[in-house]
Structures are given as structure tokens and as C-alpha cells.
Amino acid sequence: MIRVVLPPHLRTLARVDGEVQLDVEGPATQRSVLDTIEARYPMLRGTMRDHVTQLRRPLVRFFACGDDISHAPPDAPLPDAVAKGSEPFIIIGAIAGG
């Protein structure tokens, strides 16, 4: 079970509290986790990745185990701790611009 922390605005949009827990098919990567989140919460499509290019939105960042993994390839395996559910995959909106 993968744990995901959404930023507050996206929690509100998806109408969830706290962490989201997902069953991800196949290896846990940025892409597979985001695919799973968007399938469960379709209103989040386009809010973390561009609809067409699937590139991360510039003011959104991904963290895991204390590291900023935003620039890692989307198909690179996430850390074991995230894949096993002991650490969350964290999605953060930039604290910029008010």
C-alpha cells in the first residue's frame, strides 16, 4: 500500500482528509502512483501533471524520504520505504506568490 500526501488544495478538491492510501499495480514509480491517484480521483487530472505532456506542473514538487525527487525520471523506482508504505510520497505546491 503506497501512502500519498496531497497538498491542502488538492485534498479539498478530492474531498479527502489526511493521507491517501493506494494499491499501485506494478512497480511504484512517480508515473504509476500519479496514474493511480488520478484514476481514483479524476478531478485531480491536470493538477499535478500537464494533461497532454504528462510533465510535472512547474509549481508542484515531489518528495520522498526527505529528498526532492521532482527531477527524477517519472519511471524511476521510488525508494523502497515508499514502495513498502513505511514512508509517504509527498506532493507539495510551491510556497510562492501568495
Partner 1 sequence: MSRVRVLVGTRKGAFVLTSDGTRKRWKVSGPHFAGWEIYHVKGSPVDPNRIYASQTSAWFGQIIQRSDDGGKTWQPPGTKPEDLMGPDGMPKGESNMFVYDGVPGTHQWYDGTQHPWEFKRVWHLEPSLTDPDTVYAGVEDAALFRTTDGGKSWHELSGLRKHDTGPKWQPGAGGMCLHTILLDPGNPKRMSIAISAAGAFRTDDGGTTWKPINRGLHSQYIPDPNAEVGHCVHRIAMHPSRSNVLFMQKHWDVMRSDDAGDSWREVSGNLPSDFGFPIDVHAHEPETIYVVPIKSDSEHYPPKGRLRVYRSRTGGNEWEALTKGLPQRNCYVNVLRDAMSVDSLEPCGIYFGTTGGQVYASADTGDSWKPIVRDLPAVLSVEVQTLP
Give the number of other CB atoms < 10 A from CB of residue 89: 28
List the interface residues with partner 1, window 4-63 (CB under 8 A). Answer: 7-10, 12-13, 38-48, 51-52, 57, 59-60
| 94 part of the interface to partner 1, by CB under 8 A | yes
| 93 part of the interface to partner 1, by CB under 8 A | yes
Task: Give the separation between CA 4 and CA 19, rounded to whole angstroms.
Answer: 6
The grid coordinates of residue 57 equal: 506542473
Residues found near partner 1 in the complex (CB under 8 A): 7-10, 12-13, 38-48, 51-52, 57, 59-60, 93-94, 97
